[in-house]
Structure 1
Amino acid sequence: MASIDLNSDLGESFGPWPMGDDVSMLSIVTSANIACGFHAGDPAGILSVLKAAAERGVAVGAHVGYRDLVGFGRRDMDPSSAELVADTIYQIGALQGLATAAGTRVRYVKPHGALYNTIANDARQAADVIAGIRAVDPALVLMALSGAPIVAQARAAGLTVVCEAFADRAYNADGSLVSRRLPGAVIHDPQAVADRMLRLVTEGRITAIDGSEIALEAQSICIHGDTPAAVAIARTLREALSAEGVALQPFVHG
């Protein structure tokens, strides 16, 4: 039987400013990428989400990003290697402490936003993030963009890498994500998302924004938690996969 992990970016609310419906998403996804305070999230809110994830048996990952609260971590930045390595260590460490208090533990790392997209192809910044992860715990799994150079780079450095696909994002013909600045970059129709992800899981292929067909390796599917239809998309996707006999489970166990 085919199996897949569903992940979502959670813990991104900040004080009185809510971002997404974390509790509802935690009843649907199998892994949660939890903000670490650099691009979003505050300690009390992050701790609350970690406790909710622990109660539901959802695997937890550190959603590390650039130090960019105002830009929500979606602005390109060029920190020095010393900064990026230390920032990666700092964020993982902060989440580890909160996770321990919540009765769970950090199992993987998924970079956020602009950092995620940059390290997909930027070997220097990728090496810095990899070094930061290894300095904390070489057993942590890295979640990365399917088909990107960082996948081989991280595996060569000794990390276990899980490739992910994005349920609600359009793809370019080269396997990269369509820029959010362009029309059609985010897909809002829950059924359309479910149909394309079901095909990805069963056939390993997806239709790019120009109509071409591309092959993608994916052990996890991301549903962004900050889009208006996030919960509906996640629920429709989970139901569609389950109806076809696809097992939904975290990519990390134990």
Structure 2
Amino acid sequence: MDDLLRIPVCTVADGHGPPPARDNGGMEHAIDLNADLGESYGAWRMGDDAAMFEVVSSANVACGFHAGDPLTMHRSARLAVRHGVVLGAHPGYRDRAGFGRRALDVSAEELAAEVVYQLGALAAVARAAGTEVRYVKAHGALYHRLGADRSAAAATAAALVAAAPGIVVLGPPESEFERAAAEAGIRYAREAFIDRGYLPDGRLVPRDHPDALVEDPMRAADRALELVETGGIAAADGARVELAPDSLCLHGDTPGSVGIARAVRAALAEAGHDVRPFA
């Protein structure tokens, strides 16, 4: 369901012009680096969380619906404490078989209740580990549903205000969820994806397309610098997608995710950019 969300874009005149120069003129920027983690459960293992927690500044931890389980959540919270990483809830549809990437026909009311349920589960586990959940970022198909469905976004924002005053929402720029958060008085942070390709209209390249994933560490590092220093990224045809991100996202299940994360962190440091949590 990666093709559901549309983001306003600014296209260069011929559609294939070069991106703006990345010379930041000596200016330093602060940026958050987040990753989707804690997605193992039972005997099934996803990614290398121990290594990823050493690199990121914020961790979106699965809450048991699309992935994750209580023990994995607890271990994730302890890793967050150990490495000074800010903890975020990563709720998804109740869809382990589809890893939360299939759109489900769930009412806005039920969806909002399930988001709060998942947030509450991770919040309790986090307290037991000596930390707290600072923000919420939806997963997969739910992420795109909240970005495009005004009713679902409004219901979820209202539920979050009631359940967790002061919680921050991390999500797509210029989306229904951003508008709903503003109306509800919730602080909203925008994110952009380092390891996912963008289409010229601002949608993510569908995962079954060859250009969907960015697996080369150096290319990912270049994309991170482009996003931080220009506020946007080049789409497949050279069009500019303007995102103005507060946080850059990596996926723990992307092949070679640890190497990608380390290359990105090193490139940001070398360019003088401060990696720190947005929440």
TM-score, normalising length from structure 1?
A: 0.96
1:103 aligns with 2:130: yes
Shift of 1:187: 0.9
1:218 aligns with 245
TM-score, normalising length from structure 2?
A: 0.88
1:62 aligns with 89
Shift of 1:214: 2.1
Question: In the alignment, which of 145, 148, 164 is matched to residue 137 of structure 1?
Answer: 164
Aligned partners of 1:147 and 1:217 also within 8 Å = no
1:85 aligns with 112
1:52 aligns with 2:79: yes
Poorly superposed stretches of 4+, deviation over 6 Å:
none
1:203 aligns with 2:230: yes
Amino acid at match of 1:158: G
Shift of 1:128: 2.4
Alignment of 1:126-165 (within 5 A): 126-165=153-192
1:3 aligns with 2:18: no
Shift of 1:181: 2.3
Query: Deviation string for 1:6-33 (max 9, x for gaps)?
Result: 0001110011110010010000000000
Task: State how far apart, in whole Å, the 1-side matches of 2:135 and 2:114 are.
Answer: 16
Amino acid at match of 2:77: L
Task: State how far apart, in whole Å, the 2-side matches of 1:194 and 1:22 are.
Answer: 20
Shift of 1:205: 2.1
Which one has the largest radius of gyration?
Answer: 2
Amino acid at match of 1:34: V
Shift of 1:130: 1.2
Shift of 1:100: 0.3
Shift of 1:78: 2.1
Shift of 1:183: 2.2
Identity %: 49
Stretches of structure 1 lacking an aligned partner (at least 5 in a row):
none
Task: State how far apart, in whole Å, the 2-side matches of 1:138 and 1:210 are.
Answer: 42
1:183 aligns with 210
Query: Deviation string for 1:10-66 (max 9, x for gaps)?
Result: 110011110010010000000000100000001011101111111111000000111
Residue 138 of structure 2 aligns to a residue whose secondary structure is coil
Stretches of structure 2 lacking an aligned partner (at least 5 in a row):
1-27
1:119 aligns with 2:122: no
Shift of 1:142: 0.3
CA RMSD of aligned residues (A): 1.1
Aligned partners of 2:90 and 2:136 also within 8 Å = yes
Task: State how far apart, in whole Å, the 2-side matches of 1:148 and 1:105 are.
Answer: 27
Residue 138 of structure 1 aligns to a residue whose secondary structure is coil
Question: In the alignment, which of 260, 269, 272 is matched to residue 233 of structure 1?
Answer: 260
Residue 87 of structure 2 aligns to a residue whose secondary structure is strand
Amino acid at match of 2:166: A
Query: Deviation string for 1:142-173 (max 9, x for gaps)?
Result: 00112323212211221100000000001122
1:41 aligns with 68
Query: Deviation string for 1:109-139 (max 9, x for gaps)?
Result: 0000000011111111212221221121131
Higher relative contact order (CA 8 A, sep 6+): 2
Residue 251 of structure 2 aligns to a residue whose secondary structure is coil
1:27 aligns with 54
Aligned partners of 2:61 and 2:88 also within 8 Å = yes
Q: Give the number of aligned pairs.
A: 252
